[in-house]
Amino acid sequence: MFCRTCQSSGHRPAECPMRLSGEGTTEGCFHIPRGGPMVPLGDETLYFEIEFFKYNASPQYYVKYEPNEPRWDCTCPYRMYHPGVMCKHCTACVHLIRGVDLPGGNYASFLDFHIREMDANSFERIRATRVGAPLPQEDENKCLKVQYESDEPGYIEYRDRWFCWTCGGANGFKHLKGRMCKHIACYERTFTDDSYEQWLTEMEDHATFRQECDSQRHAWQRFSLLAF
């Protein structure tokens, strides 16, 4: 499997410039297995957030490992249709914990960029939202800072369309793919659960909002190089 950068440039996969540091690499540069049986990974329940593998239908996916059986769950579409086997996101979490390497690139850095382990409360808080669902309708322009505890801030904006300057890439919307990232999903959740308002700060000064977005550019820059 080749990433689009390799396809358009004629690089062999092992020569892919996107792989040199792991930054900007897509999962298409690696052959991450899927379809295999559930893999045991210790005796503790584990939680993970996966961001921007190549073909994501959602900006983030959420993976949970339960040691009984064992059982892996993921919010990706593949697992919806193949509930009894490992998807590539679950497999990548196993690789991260076990330090598994795949040939042809800096796979360890790729995993570090795209996967983070979570605590149970943070996981359940985000899973209670509709992250990955279609973007909500909105009729007023707004700028919001969204920050769950122990997470980096996210900056979302509605201006005739939705932007997330943390998850959406350089133009704020490309990597959303018409779906809610965890930050927009947090805002939408406030319509039905006002406890989520504690994670939102409305920013009326657009200049200040843009300044904070720019200072946080590193958060999405590692994804803006993805060759979709």
* Eight-state DSSP code of residue 135: P
Indicate whether 119 pLDDT > 80.
yes
Quick check: bond before 70 cis, omega within 30?
yes
Q: How far, CA to CA in Å, does 3 sit from each of 27, 28, 58, 225?
A: 8, 5, 19, 12
CA contacts within 13 A on the Cβ side of 102: 21
Partners of residue 117 on adjacent β-strands: 48
**What is residue 94's predicted lDDT score, i.e. its pLDDT?**
96
Give the residue with greater pLDDT, 107 vs 193.
Answer: 193
Q: Identify the three-state secondary structure at position 68.
A: coil
Express each pLDDT in 154-187 by its tens digit: 999 999 999 998 888 778 888 888 999 999 999 9
| Packing angle of the helix pair 182-189, 120-127 (nearest 10 deg) | 70
**What is residue 170's predicted lDDT score, i.e. its pLDDT?**
77
Express each pLDDT in 12-68 by its tens digit: 445 444 444 444 445 556 778 889 999 999 999 999 999 876 655 678 899 999 998
- Do 75 and 51 meet the contact criterion of CB atoms below 8 Å apart? no
**What is residue 13's predicted lDDT score, i.e. its pLDDT?**
47
Q: What angle do CA 87, 17, 7 make, to 5 degrees?
A: 70
How many other C-beta atoms can be found within 10 angstroms of the C-beta atom of residue 165?
A: 25
**What is residue 177's predicted lDDT score, i.e. its pLDDT?**
85
**What is residue 216's predicted lDDT score, i.e. its pLDDT?**
67
Cα-trace Rg, the chain: 18
Express each pLDDT in 182-227 by its tens digit: 999 999 999 999 999 999 999 999 999 988 888 765 555 554 444 3
d(CA 15, CA 37): 32
Q: Identify the three-state secondary structure at position 178.
A: coil
- Do 109 and 60 meet the contact criterion of CB atoms below 8 Å apart? no
The bridge status of strand 162-164 relative to strand 200-202 is unpaired
